């Protein structure tokens, strides 16, 4: 029923394929507009605001290494790097 379509990205100007499967998915979800950006530009756009969110840096309360956080740490709570957090979570579970 659907056929692959070649579209042009409005962000970078490159052509990309809007596959029959993607078209079917869009129809099932009720989306009426075709994508205007290629996959790479869509992902870049989604991730654009993340660098601001990931801007918080603290010192791990367990090992002393730098911990990058998606939230602003509070003074009254310990903060852990991802390795220590995973280890603590595993020990509790």
Distance CA 80, CA 13 (A): 43
Q: Whose CA is closest to 27, among 18, 14, 38, 36?
A: 18
Q: Which of 48, 66, 81 is the last residue of a domain?
A: 48
Range of the domain at 65: 53-92
Give yes or no: residues 9 and 43 share one domain: yes
pLDDT tens for each residue of 6-59: 999 999 999 999 999 999 999 999 999 999 999 999 988 887 655 555 568 899
pTM for the model stands at 0.51
Domain count across the chain: 2
pLDDT tens for each residue of 47-80: 765 555 556 889 999 999 998 888 889 889 999 9
Give yes or no: residues 42 and 59 share one domain: no
According to DSSP, residue 58 is labeled E
Give yes or no: residues 86 and 58 share one domain: yes
Give yes or no: residues 9 and 37 share one domain: yes
Both structure tokens of 56:
């918080």
- What sections of 1-93 are H helices per DSSP? 20-29, 39-47, 50-53, 82-92
Give yes or no: residues 43 and 13 share one domain: yes
Task: Report the pLDDT value the prediction gives residue 51, as an integer from 0 to 100.
Answer: 54
């Amino acid at each position: 029923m659907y056929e692959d379509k070649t579209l042009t990205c409005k962000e970078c100007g490159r052509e990309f394929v809007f596959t029959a499967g993607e078209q079917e998915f869009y129809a099932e979800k009720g989306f009426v507009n075709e994508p205007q950006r290629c996959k790479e530009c869509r992902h870049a756009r989604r991730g654009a605001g993340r660098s601001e969110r990931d801007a918080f840096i603290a010192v791990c309360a367990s090992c002393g290494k730098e911990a990058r956080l998606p939230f602003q740490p509070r003074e009254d709570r310990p903060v852990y790097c991802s390795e220590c957090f995973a280890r603590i979570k595993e020990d509790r579970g």
